[in-house]
Amino acid sequence: MVDVSGKQSSIREALAVGELLMHVSTARLILAGNADKGDVLGVARLAAIQATKSTHLLIPLCHAIPVESVTVVFTWPDQESNSEQAVLRCEVRVRTSAKTGVEMEALTAVSIGCLTVYDMVKAVDRGIQIRTIQLLEKSGGKSGDFRRS
C-alpha cells in the first residue's frame, strides 16, 4: 500500500457513472416495479452504498477510509421513441474527509449498482450490457481536481 500517514486529511469527493443498455420491455418492468425480485432500483441503490464501504475488501491495495456521504442516482436518459433499447444511467457521488481519495469507492459503487440491476432482471433479459463505467470528476487532495471533458 502507499504510505499516506504523512498526508493531511482533506475533503475529497468523486463522481463516477455507468450505463446499462437493455430492452425497452425490461426498462418498463423496472419502472413498473414488477420484477420478480422486487424493487430493482431500490435494491441496486443499497448495494451501491454498501459497496463503497467494502471497497478496501475487494481491491487489494485500496485503503479503508471513512465514507461520510454517498449519493446514488439512477436516471433514464431521453431516447428515441422508436428504439428497442433503453439506457439506465447510474451516478454515484462519494465524499469523505481523509488522507486519500474516494475514486475507487465511487467506481466500485457504480459497478456493483449496475451488476445488481443485471442480477435482478437477468431472468427476463440476459443481453443487458453494462458499459462506460468511468470517473467523471474528483476533487481534493494533493493531485488536485479532475473533470472529464
- Under 8 Å CB-to-CB from 125, ≥6 apart: which residues? 22, 23, 25, 26
DSSP-based three-state secondary structure for 139: strand
Residue 119 among the catalytic residues: yes
Cβ contact 131:85 at 8 Å: no
Name the one residue in this structure whose C-alpha cell is 443487458.
128
Please identify which of the residues 36, 119, 125, 145 carries the catalytic annotation. Answer: 119
Name the packing angle between helices 40-58 and 103-121 (round to 10°): 140
Angle at 42 between CA 139 and CA 130, to 5 degrees: 65
CA 128 to the chain's CA centroid: 16
Residue 22 CA to residue 77 CA, distance in Å, equals 13
Where in the sequence numbering do the catalytic residues fall?
119
